[in-house]
Structure 1
Amino acid sequence: MRTLAALGLTMTLTLAACGDDAAAPAQKKTELSLYNDKGAWSKYFDDMGALSKQQISLSLKPVGYTDSAQYQAFIKASFRTDVKPDLFTWQTGGMLAEIVKQKQVADTTAVWQEAIKAGDLPQDLAPYYTVGGKQYCVPLNVAYWGMFYHKQLFDQHKLKPPATWDELIEAAGKLKKAGVTPFYHTSVLFSFVWFEQLMAGTDPDLYDRLSTGEAKYTDPGVVAVMEKWKQLIDAGYFVNAGDKTDPADLLKNGKTAMVSFGTFFTTSMTTRAMVSGKDYGFFVIPNVNASLPKTSVIFESGPLCALQKSPPESMQYLKWWTTTSAQEKWAASRGDVSANPKVTVKDAALDAITKDAGSGKYRLVNRYFEATPPPILTAALDGFGKFVSDPSTGKEVLETIQKAADEYWSTHQ
């Protein structure tokens, strides 16, 4: 009997101990996993992790993927499994809306309101993180698209950054006459760059309607833009679209005078020992339509997100990420701009566009890659790649893209 009594007491104490463990609060995290599709950015994430450990006692463990499709599959699978990221990177536009509608992403509306009030995030950026009237995620990065140019070629031919579209085309004509190819373009991946630039600089409202299915690629305004693009190609203003040479090398070697790219392109310049203001410069591309009230600036922004069921430290990290001290480190580490308009960038031209974009000087236009639903984007990238190689196919290309658009919007509102 004594043995049974002792056994009973032992079981009671054991159960009580288990009950205490179950009721105990979860241990505070000191390290967060950051799953991302930017494997080459591990060093930058490590830099941020060292700073966050110092400032908010949270370090960062980046888990980088280099295959985008594999990464997206993992994140979507994590919604249904126990392997969940504390933080993860994603895309704006339709891809963000898709996972928000699955009720998987943490609402960051309060973070946005606080950051906008503090001047750490621009109000103009909020719509691109808004789904159903609420904000989700925060900007991991932001890039403004403009024109990088070969400073010595411009000086040699007595050219200055153009203030109007006519001045840009006049400069292209002078360069072409002197035997210098004015512009870079490509038939792979970034084949959409000149389409978006011409569309946004001609009729940004029409550009936006294309992304929501309210306009067609066969509409007269879009056809007119393709015709203008064809005129530039026919004039010989572009490098061979099939040339696989890195655009940074083409610019450095003077084989092209101008390259339209996002501000992140500065990293490509600096790794080639090119100095801003001496070897290259940057300017905002003027509107094609001079009567528009604001200059249209293409921008892209990648989200940094947390799941609804993430630990509270994940939201703490998102709040910290938007602050000036965090963003100063982030911009300096990558040599790029920041979504925080209070951050000073060493490159004067990039610092100027950051401040101007944050103040509302420009009309920010979402990059085509993020603005366009994936099935339509696939058809468009193939189509534009075909067009830059054979400009006579413009009408056929637009009809093919519109067919993909009709199929997509027939089942999506």
Structure 2
Amino acid sequence: MLRSLVVFLLLTTAAAADTADGEALKAMTWDEIVEQARGGTVNWFMWGGADNINAYVSDYVAAVLKRDHDITLNRVPITDAAEVVNLVLTEKEAGITDSGSVDLIWINGENFRSMKQADLAFCGYTDLLPNNALVNWDNPAIANDFGVPVDGCEVPWNTVQFAFAHDSATLPDPPQDMAALIDWIKANPGRFTYPAPPDFTGSVFVRHVFYHAAGGPDALLGPFDQATFDVVAARTWAILNEIEPFLWRGGATYPTTITQLNELFANGEVAFTFNYDSAQFGIAVQAGIYPDTVRSFGLTDGTIGNTNYTLIPFNSPNKAAAMVVQNVLLSGEAQLEKARTEVWGAAPAIEITRTTPEVQAGFAAIKGHPSVVPSEELARAALPELQADWLVAIEEGWKANVGN
């Protein structure tokens, strides 16, 4: 499906390829880059599972780019960024170094690590973006993506933190920490499940259990340690296998995507859903998918937060235009628009205090949705992401020891 879509794009998109290569672009002024980008097309491969996010990109962002820069933004929906990483790698192995199919990717975590290690990312240009000045690169959570230094190879877009959602009309007092949640699952057969890794939301739920089994993340931070992993993983698989018979459908099957879990929650088949982006709960209530009584919450022992980014592949033929897209995405105006609860409710990746007074006033005027736990409340118990090697080992271990 993805490959046929790429072929269609290559055959039908009249994209104006950059005449300058990456190194030449890095020697230009920003005004020269903007002129180089004019009239270009950017094929942005990004997760397409949320209608409001799709609308923000296809309507608001695309309109700004067309109006101000005569750039056409082509949003290409995908289910997993790993598909695009493999596509770019395949192109590199085929010797396609300046006419790739992908101009921009929404990415983070192990997929970024894979692209960086394989030299698949365009790097060393981010200081050229005027709106890069709005980013606090002194923040380790921004400067490192799942423990991997960004090194000018990607541009932050949003910050997120995991949260659970429940219907307060049917479950007024949800469990408040992981130990209590595990007990609740066993006491309420069939009312809980999670997507099977490598779905990124299912994977982060498993990591929360992994942290719980480790007594917290402190012993897991830093480079991957096989001996520590073996001890903690054994405890984790024991917990997950113990609760499996009490899951939805007796644990005989797992949802494969977060979309499927959301549908089970909307239909009342399970009592919880969860997401890295708690704003999605409010959007679902506004759309009439969830009842008004849905509320979201973190855990007293913490939930995992991270930053997500956009990345330009090394062989994008439209690097200048992709850089302009990234600069627009970083702007105070674009970050404010997606922070509005009726649009997306996304947390900004920039320092609001570095924006204009008008943008700061806009952020101050935003009123949170009652179904969305305030980000400030979540942040009081924020947990760090592990380095990517841990993620790979946990996902593979789950498949071998639980998902089998």
Q: Tell me the TM-score normalized by structure 1.
A: 0.64
**Equivalent residue number for residue 72 of structure 1:** 85
Letter in 2 for 1:185: Y
Match among 191, 200, 203 for residue 211 of structure 2: 200
TM-superposed deviation, 1:63: 4.9
Q: Secondary structure at the match of 2:122?
A: coil
User: Are residues 113 and 321 of structure 1, via their aligned partners in 2, closer, same or farther at CA, if it must alter by over 3 Å?
Assistant: closer
What do residues 23-60 of structure 1 show as CA deviations (whole Å, max 9, x unaligned)?
A: xx875514441331435665442221113344x43534
Letter in 1 for 2:47: K
Count of residue pairs the alignment pairs up: 336
Identify unmatched segments of 5+ residues in structure 2.
1-31, 353-362
**Equivalent residue number for residue 184 of structure 1:** 193
Match among 232, 238, 255 for residue 221 of structure 1: 232
Letter in 2 for 1:305: I
Match among 147, 164, 172 for residue 147 of structure 1: 164
In the alignment, the residues of structure 2 paired with residue 108 and residue 35 of structure 1 have an alpha-carbon distance, to the nearest angstrom, of 18
Match among 42, 46, 51 for residue 33 of structure 1: 42
Matches within 5 A, 1:9-408: 27-38=36-47, 43-47=55-59, 48-54=61-67, 56-64=68-76, 66=78, 71-76=84-89, 77=91, 80-84=96-100, 87-89=103-105, 91-101=107-117, 102=119, 104-108=121-125, 110=127, 114-117=133-136, 124-128=141-145, 134-155=151-172, 159=173, 161-165=174-178, 168=181, 176=188, 181-187=190-196, 189-190=198-199, 192-201=203-212, 202-209=215-222, 212-216=223-227, 219-233=230-244, 236=246, 240-241=250-251, 242=253, 244=255, 246-263=260-277, 265-266=280-281, 269-270=284-285, 273-275=288-290, 278-287=292-301, 295-299=302-306, 301-305=308-312, 307=314, 311-332=319-340, 335-340=344-349, 342=352, 344=366, 346-348=368-370, 350=372, 352-353=374-375, 355=376, 361-366=380-385, 372=390, 376=393, 379-383=396-400, 385-386=402-403
Identify unmatched segments of 5+ residues in structure 1.
1-24, 288-294, 388-413
The CA RMSD over aligned residues, in Å, is 4.2
User: Are residues 103 and 272 of structure 1, via their aligned partners in 2, closer, same or farther at CA, if it must alter by over 3 Å?
Assistant: closer
TM-superposed deviation, 1:109: 5.0
Asked whether the equivalents of residues 296 and 364 of structure 1 are also in contact (C-alpha less than 8 Å), the reply is yes
TM-superposed deviation, 1:217: 6.4
Report which of the two has the higher share of helix. 1
Which structure is larger by alpha-carbon Rg, 1 or 2? 1
Letter in 1 for 2:288: A
TM-superposed deviation, 1:315: 2.8
- % identity of equivalent residues: 11
TM-superposed deviation, 1:128: 0.9
Q: Tell me the TM-score normalized by structure 2.
A: 0.65
In the alignment, the residues of structure 1 paired with residue 282 and residue 370 of structure 2 have an alpha-carbon distance, to the nearest angstrom, of 15
